Amino acid sequence: MASASLWRYAARRVLLALPALAGVVVVTFVITRMLPGDPALYYAGQVDSFASVDEIRHRMGLDRPLPLQFVAYVDDLAHGDLGQSLSTGQPVGRELIQRLPASFELMASALSLALLIAVPLGVMAATRPGSWIDHACRLIGTAGVSLPTFFTGLLLIYVFYYVAGWAPAPVGRFPSFMRPPPSITGMILIDSLLAGDLDKFQAALGQIALPALTMALFALAPLTRMTRAAMLGVLSSDFVRQARANGAPRLHLLFVTALRNGLLPVVTTLGMIASSMLGANVLVERVFAWPGVGSYALDAMVSLDYAPLQGFVLVMSVVYVLINLGIDILYGVIDPRVRFEA
Amino acid sequence: MLRRDLLRTTGALLSADALSLLRVTPASAQSRAETLLVVVEVGQNSLDPQGLGVNQATLGVTWNLYDRLIGFGVKTLPDGNASFDFDHLVPELAESWTTAADGGSVTFRLRPDATFHDGSKVTAADVKWSLDRAVSNPAPASQMRAGGLEKPEQFVVLDEHTIRVDLPAHSKLSLPDLAVIQPSVFNAKLCQAHATTDDPWALNWAKTNTAGSGAYTLESWTPRQETVLARNESWRGGKLPFFKRIVIREIPSSGNRRALLERGDADLSFDLPPRDFADLARDAKLTVLGVPAPNTFQYVGMNTHTKPFDDVRVRQAVAWALPYDKIFDTALQGRGRKLFGGPAAPVGNEWPQPFPYHTDPDRAKALLAEAGLAGGFETTLAFDLGTASVDEPVCLFIQEALAGIGIKAAINRLPPGQLRGSIGSRQQPLYLFSFGAWFDVPEYFFFLLYDGKLNGPSNGASYANQAVDAAIDTARNTSDPEAYAAALRTMFTAAMTDVPYVPLAQPFVNVAMQKSISGFVNMFHRQLDYRPLHRG
């Protein structure tokens, strides 16, 4: 019964998102056309005359009236075609499918790392408010938020690669002279395990370590603070006092009884961080030559490349809808009182 | 199930060990020595040298994937660097050529043994199809026109290995125009197999596939990440290159490109900011070369159709006010050739050459007063954020210096790549940009930048001067050295007196590479030619 209502709920949420996605299609089309600059002049390069520019504009289909261009765009979308990127020469759909796993892998690694540090730290800070660990927690939080990620990234590269030589060269997802494993999920860490190639797994792990750490440092602050605040509330509540009076073991009390009840706001924060890490992570991606979706969209924007920009916004809205849905379902798993009403 | 997993994992562990052993064997050290690892900011967006909207990197990679009929020779510059020789053409796919007595045509004889990457023979029909393609599509056609190559009828197949190119007018640029990137020779049968009725020239297919006969074949291409080229062992267009593989990695951050070079994890980079090249040159751990980019200058442009820059005295005032030395030493880090402080009149046929201006604020103020603008005026100064690491400090220096003579210039930062379009649509009264012409002859530079009849996209100043237009025509068509020199003198003098464009420097084409690597030859396209490079 419960799972049936869950499915109904999920289906309803997805249906409700459809009008929003339609709006996204219209708005991104209009906004990209409002970007300053003339793509025909941009892509014409150094041509001799304006007649050549006009012919190039015609070949690009940009001399047609906007409504006609929009109809053509929607028609392509209906056939599952997101168009072609001018700045990479590749179909947008294929590129996004290649790049999303790269962003996702980085986001997942960074969030796991951040959670592993933030949750215990937040719990410990909440149990001893005002202690050194609480201050340390505040310091890490402030530092993580106030240091821009590109700066942390460059600093980590400087220390661990340039000076110490511990980290591998920051050349992206995979070392220069190694072939990546055959792509199954698109996530190299998982693909190399599936291929049973530990050497490649280790290489990929080395490449992802610094960018994941950079992003984790950024995510640490909100997660630690949220955990601390939530735990402070829960720890002073009646049911925890009751459990403690009954002699529940301390670790069980903290990490099972109390934490599970304090987890909801942490999960909400996690969802927000995950969404922004996936799409708005341009700086880290550029610093580490990471081929993610964020830098793809930025490159498209500066080169007046409409198709990838539209495709990116559309795909990211779908991803946001799915992440929010996932978070809502996670609520139900954590807190049995949450009901999914269709 | 479990046992199989266990076996697989054990196997993987064993093979991992085997691999790590392999890495230190001499064989792999050998292959590393024969591999060149290049780090670049941006890679190609297409594999078609005749494609629409292709970027600079496309020109670079296709230069190595495709052959032309002929190429440029190599000369040693006075500073010891090697450069392409515009006046010396050498055979590539053509083993010889003869120009008709009346100059109305050139007949090329193809090498009989040249083959495309798929093994098929390079024939005159392939050459014709490729040249037809070049003049029939807007992107390459603009370049082809420069050499008087405009219609497919001009390319006549005489037999399987002979092709004649008809030239309607005697043009000095026709032959060099066959040695640039656009007239690359395609495998016509392979392309035609992928052509459609909507796309008779297989433009879509050639974006992501190659059909050349060049010194390198494409091993793999992952856009915005990596391109791997492999040596074409049966290349006949010249001496077989040293490097068996070229790995091109895209590293967007210039700081990281530098770090990779310094740590020895990359072999070569040619797109760092001038400051990094200057630092690396001082450190002397790497080989750093700087070759003045032929027929190129970095300049401050003023729209001669916008008040108050329509007054030549105002333009001259700006030219006398610019802080040349500060810009050259601090922002450009000396990575270029000075184009200021020259003699009062032009000297010789060389272009670009130093203009007579130097920093003299009093003279600038006097000229402004003469123009009735003693109180100064307000304007904007535009630059492109794509080159901000150099251009932003340059603009700040200019802003400061102009303020000294009463001109308040608000800096206008345009998103990367958009200044060219903005100049094309004549929106900028005052801007910082650079311009280079592939053909290393002044008249072609003037045709694109200064010609009022053409008034093309590059002429952001909308400069028009009938005497200059006539001189450009003369210089392009005359074969009399004296008339040529006189025409150039007219052009150069007008450029220096009317100053629609004030040059700052002739920038360097820079390259930083490991000490073990040599053989760099600067090409007109300012991208890398991998063929002459070698290690050891």
Q: What are the tens digits of pLDDT across the range B235-249? A: 988 899 999 999 999
- Whether B395 shows a pLDDT value over 70: the answer reads yes
Q: Mean pLDDT over residues B158-168, rounded?
A: 93
Contact A47 B139 (CB under 8 A): yes
Tokens of B360: 């003299």
The residue extents of the domains of chain A are 1-87+305-342, 107-170+208-302
Among B381, B408, B390, CA closest to B505: B390
Are the C-beta atoms of A224 and A118 separated by less than 8 Å? yes
By mean pLDDT, which of A274-283, A311-320, B41-50, B156-165 is the weakest?
A274-283
pLDDT digits (tens, 9 = 90+) for A213-222: 999 988 888 8
pLDDT at B26: 54
Neighbour-count burial for B149-183, b at 16+ CB within 10 Å, e otherwise: beeeebbebeeebbbbbbbeeebbbbbbbbbbbbb
- Other CB atoms within 10 A of residue B307 CB: 11
Q: Mean pLDDT over residues A220-247, rounded?
A: 87
Q: Which of B30, B224, B384 to probe the A interface (max A CBs under 10 A)? A: B224
Residue A259 amino acid letter:
L
Residues 18-47 of B with CB under 8 A from A: 19-20, 32, 35, 37, 39, 44-47
For residue B265, what pLDDT band results from cuts at 50, 70 and 90? very high
Q: In sequence order, which residues have a C-beta less than 8 Å from that of residue A13 and are 6 or more positions away?
A: A321, A325, A328
For residue B449, what pLDDT band results from cuts at 50, 70 and 90? very high
Q: Mean pLDDT over residues A108-128, rounded?
A: 90
pLDDT at B16: 40
Q: In sequence order, which residues have a C-beta less than 8 Å from that of residue A318 and are 6 or more positions away?
A: A17, A21
CATH architecture assigned to A107-170+208-302: Orthogonal Bundle (1.10)
Phi, psi (rounded to 5 degrees) for B75: -125, 155
Among B378, B380, B379, B364, CA closest to B314: B364
Q: Above pLDDT 90, what percent of chain B? A: 79
Question: Rounded to a whole number, what is the distance in Å from the CA of A267 to chain B's nearest CA?
Answer: 34
Among B240, B204, B237, CA closest to B122: B237
Are the C-beta atoms of B187 and B35 separated by less than 8 Å? no
CB pairs under 8 A between A and B: 171
Q: Radius of gyration (Cα) for chain B, nearest Å?
A: 26
Of residues A279 and B303, which shows the higher confidence score? Answer: B303
Q: Cis check for the bond before B112: say yes or no (omega within 30 of 0).
A: no
Q: Which of B7, B8, B45 to probe the A interface (max A CBs under 10 A)? A: B45
Q: Cis check for the bond before B308: say yes or no (omega within 30 of 0).
A: yes
Residue B11: which of A157, A170, A196 has the nearest Cβ? A196
ipTM given for this complex: 0.82
- Whether B10 shows a pLDDT value over 70: the answer reads no
Among A341, A335, A322, A339, CA closest to A21: A322
Of residues A45 and A163, which shows the higher confidence score? Answer: A163
What residues of chain A lie within 8 A of the CB of B226, using their CB? 172, 176
By mean pLDDT, which of A70-74, B15-19, B202-206, B222-226 is the weakest?
B15-19
pLDDT at B7: 41
The Cα–Cα gap between B290 and B293 comes to 9
Residues 370-389 of B with CB under 8 A from A: 386
Q: In sequence order, which residues have a C-beta less than 8 Å from that of residue B289 and are 6 or more positions away?
A: B81, B510, B511, B512, B520
Residues 193-212 of B with CB under 8 A from A: 207-208
User: Using CA atoms in the order B334, B338, B341, B343, what is the torsion angle rounded to 10 degrees?
Assistant: 150
Residue B347, Cα to own-chain centre: how many angstroms?
26
- Whether A323 shows a pLDDT value over 90: the answer reads no
Chain B residue nearest residue A94, CA to CA: B223
Contact A169 B45 (CB under 8 A): no
- Whether A342 shows a pLDDT value over 80: the answer reads no
Residue A25 amino acid letter:
V
Are the C-beta atoms of A227 and A117 separated by less than 8 Å? no
Question: Rounded to a whole number, what is the distance in Å from the CA of A56 to chain B's nearest CA?
Answer: 6
Q: Cβ of A38 under 8 Å from any chain B Cβ?
A: yes
Residues 202-261 of B with CB under 8 A from A: 207-208, 222-226, 247, 249-253, 255-256, 259-260
